[in-house]
A and B are shown apart, each in its own frame.
Chain A
C-alpha cells in the first residue's frame, strides 16, 4: 500500500564511492522529484521528471545523475561521493493540476539518510 517508497532507508559509505538510491511510486503520477534536505532541514529540489523526461535540473554537481526507466521509477546515482553529500534525500511524486488555482500536491517517500565518512 506504500505510495512512494525509497531504498535504502539508510546508507553509510566512504568518500569516493559510487552509490544509488531507488524510488518507486504506485500512485500513477506523471511527475517525480528528488530533493535534498540538509542538516538545517531546508528542502532543496534537485531534479524533476515528467513522463520520464527531465524538466527541472537545479544547480547540482554532475556527479548526481537521475534515471527514470519508466513513469513509476526515478533512481538517483551518485558518483565519487563527498562529505558534503551527507543529507537526507527524498523522492516525491505528484500529478500537477494546471489552470487557474493550479496545484501540485507532492507525495513524499520516507527518505534515505546518506552518511559519507
Chain B
C-alpha cells in the first residue's frame, strides 16, 4: 500500500501551459518535501513545507501544504522544457523522521 499517492503519474504538455501535480495521503506528516530528478541523476530537493496551509514559491513553481498536513500540491506556471523531470514528494513522519516517498510524477514539457 502506497502511503503517499501522487497524481498524475505521467503528464506531457506544451511549453507555456500551466499544470498541477498532487501528493495525497491519509497520514499526517511533520513536513513534506518535493524533489526533482533529472535523467541520469539523483533526486534534488526543491522545497520543504512544514506548516499546515503553508505556501512557498520558487520562481514559477508554487508549493502548498494542506491545512491538515496530509497532502500537498505543486503548481507550475508557464511550464518550460527545463521543467521536464520526475517530481517526487516525500513526507516526514513525526514518530521516526523517516521519509515516506511517493511514486513520482513524470513530467515532459514539449517545446
Contacts and interface: CB of A to CB of B under 8 A. Distances in A.
B1 interface: no
B84 interface: no
Interface residues of A, number: 25
A101 B51 contact: yes
A87 to B, nearest CB: 14
Contacts of A4: 42
B31 A102 contact: yes
Q: Name the interface size band of chain B.
A: 20 to 34
22 contacts: A4-B42, A41-B86, A42-B103, A43-B101, A45-B101, A98-B97, A100-B30, A101-B30, A101-B31, A102-B97, A103-B30, A103-B33, A103-B48, A104-B98, A104-B99, A105-B45, A106-B90, A108-B41, A108-B43, A110-B40, A110-B41, A111-B41
Interface in A34-61: 40-45, 48, 56
Contacts of B37: 41
A66 interface: no
Given A43-B88, A104-B99, A111-B40, 17 more contacts: A4-B42, A41-B37, A42-B103, A43-B101, A98-B97, A100-B30, A101-B30, A102-B31, A103-B30, A103-B33, A103-B48, A103-B50, A103-B92, A104-B92, A105-B33, A105-B48, A108-B43
Given A103-B33, A103-B92, A41 B103 contact: yes
